[in-house]
């Protein structure tokens, strides 16, 4: 039997195109309002992975004509100190979007810090307001990775209405919001997680599978429904996703590679939402 191979969902290319559009929009804002969109990046401590992520985001901002204002804080900062910093950025008219890099340290009330981000500057989509907006289908910013996943699905013309979407993982910035976005697009949505009993049988029902658990090759290709759309939002050490790509690609109709699938979309959506936040403030207030 000849095995089919899934078509790859190219996040690198789509992210590049979205960022080009964002750069043009940022240029338009600069021309009309004489100020560039500005993303504040708040980094607590010096965790190497976090440092790298923030640098990457700043570099991408720069390429897109978005200023970034870096706000490094010592690892010892208190919750109230962090909340104060973020609140000041929320109130600063020169800042259009705020990114608080997490994790922020175990001694800090991360939720309190996130909630200090004004909804209209929550371009990373981490506040309770943004989550509820995603849940209720109201205007607002989306969490970046879920937003990127939805863009990929649209780019590849995946019809979601009535389809069974299975989300494996339930984190507040990935699993939960992507499920809400899929539900808002009329998919039937199942949330699975570490306590789920009988996961393979549920995965086999998925027309659209979103893997967001952070465990390398956790989803076996043999469990994927033939023709399913497979979104791998995992990014584990060694460039390995949550889905066993080599087995999955012979069952899926569309699949995101790791790297080059979901990953690049996250920053693209962050930049796009930063420009949009600036536009709302500066051009169409």
179 is in an annotated binding site: no
| Cα separation, 172 vs 7, whole angstroms | 30
Query: Catalytic one among 101, 244, 273, 276?
Result: 101
36 is in an annotated binding site: no
- Strand-pairing partners, residue 75, are none
Helices (H), ranges, the chain = 11-33, 48-63, 79-91, 110-115, 128-136, 144-155, 175-184, 199-203, 245-248, 263-282
Give the one residue of 53, 131, 141, 218 binding a second copy; rule: CB under 8 A: 131
Which residues are CB-neighbours of 119 under 8 A, at least 6 positions away? Answer: 127, 129, 130, 140, 141
124 is catalytic: yes
Residues in 81-120 that interact with a second copy by CB under 8 A = 111
User: Smallest distance from the beta carbon of 279 to a second copy, in angstroms?
Assistant: 23
Per-residue exposure over 49-70, b if at least 16 CB sit within 10 Å of its own CB, e if not: ebeebbeebbebbeebbbbbbe
Give the one residue of 67, 163, 225, 249 binding a second copy; rule: CB under 8 A: 163
- Strand-pairing partners, residue 71, are 42
Q: Return the CA Rg of the chain.
A: 19
Residues in 166-195 that interact with a second copy by CB under 8 A = 170, 172, 176, 179-180, 183, 186, 188-193, 195
Residues in 198-227 that interact with a second copy by CB under 8 A = 198, 202
57 is catalytic: yes
Size of the site for a second copy (CB under 8 A): 32
| Cα separation, 231 vs 241, whole angstroms | 10
Ramachandran category for residue 3: left, alpha or beta (phi over 0 → left; psi -120 to 50 → alpha): beta
Query: Catalytic one among 122, 124, 207, 242?
Result: 124
Give the one residue of 24, 59, 88, 132 binding a second copy; rule: CB under 8 A: 132
Which residues are CB-neighbours of 35 under 8 A, at least 6 positions away? Answer: 29, 94, 282
169 is in an annotated binding site: yes
Binding window for a second copy (CB under 8 A); candidates: 160-168, 220-228, 243-251, 273-281:
160-168
Question: Which residues here bind a second copy, judged by CB under 8 A?
Answer: 111, 127-129, 131-133, 135-136, 138, 161-164, 170, 172, 176, 179-180, 183, 186, 188-193, 195-198, 202
Residue ranges of the annotated binding site are 169-171
Instruction: Provide the annotated active-site residues.
Output: 57, 101, 124
Bind-site residues for NADP(+) = 169-171
């Amino acid at each position: 039997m000849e095995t089919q191979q899934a078509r790859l969902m190219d996040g690198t290319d789509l992210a590049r195109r979205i960022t080009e559009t964002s750069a043009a929009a940022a240029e338009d804002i600069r021309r009309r309002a004489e100020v560039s969109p500005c993303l504040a990046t708040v980094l607590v401590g010096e965790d190497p992975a976090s440092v790298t992520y923030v640098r990457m985001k700043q570099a991408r901002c720069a390429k897109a004509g978005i200023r970034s204002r870096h706000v490094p804080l010592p690892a010892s900062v208190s919750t109230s100190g962090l909340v104060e910093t973020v609140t000041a950025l929320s109130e600063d008219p020169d800042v259009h979007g705020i990114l608080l890099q997490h994790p922020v340290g175990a001694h800090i009330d991360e939720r309190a810090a996130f909630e200090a981000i004004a909804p209209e500057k929550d371009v990373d989509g981490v506040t309770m307001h943004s989550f509820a907006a995603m849940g209720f289908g109201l205007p607002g910013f989306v969490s970046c990775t879920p937003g990127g996943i939805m863009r990929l699905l649209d780019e590849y013309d995946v019809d979601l209405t009535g389809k069974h979407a299975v989300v494996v993982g339930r984190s507040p910035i990935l699993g939960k919001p992507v499920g809400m976005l899929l539900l808002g697009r009329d998919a039937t949505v199942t949330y699975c997680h570490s306590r789920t009993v009988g996961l393979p049988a549920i995965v086999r029902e998925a027309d659209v599978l979103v893997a967001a658990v952070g465990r390398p090759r956790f989803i076996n290709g043999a469990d994927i429904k033939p023709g399913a759309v497979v979104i791998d939002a995992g990014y584990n050490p060694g460039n390995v996703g949550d889905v066993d790509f080599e087995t999955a690609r012979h069952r899926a109709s569309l699949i995101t590679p790791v790297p080059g699938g979901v990953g690049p979309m996250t920053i693209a959506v962050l930049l796009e939402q930063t420009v949009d936040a600036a536009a709302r403030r500066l051009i169409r207030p």
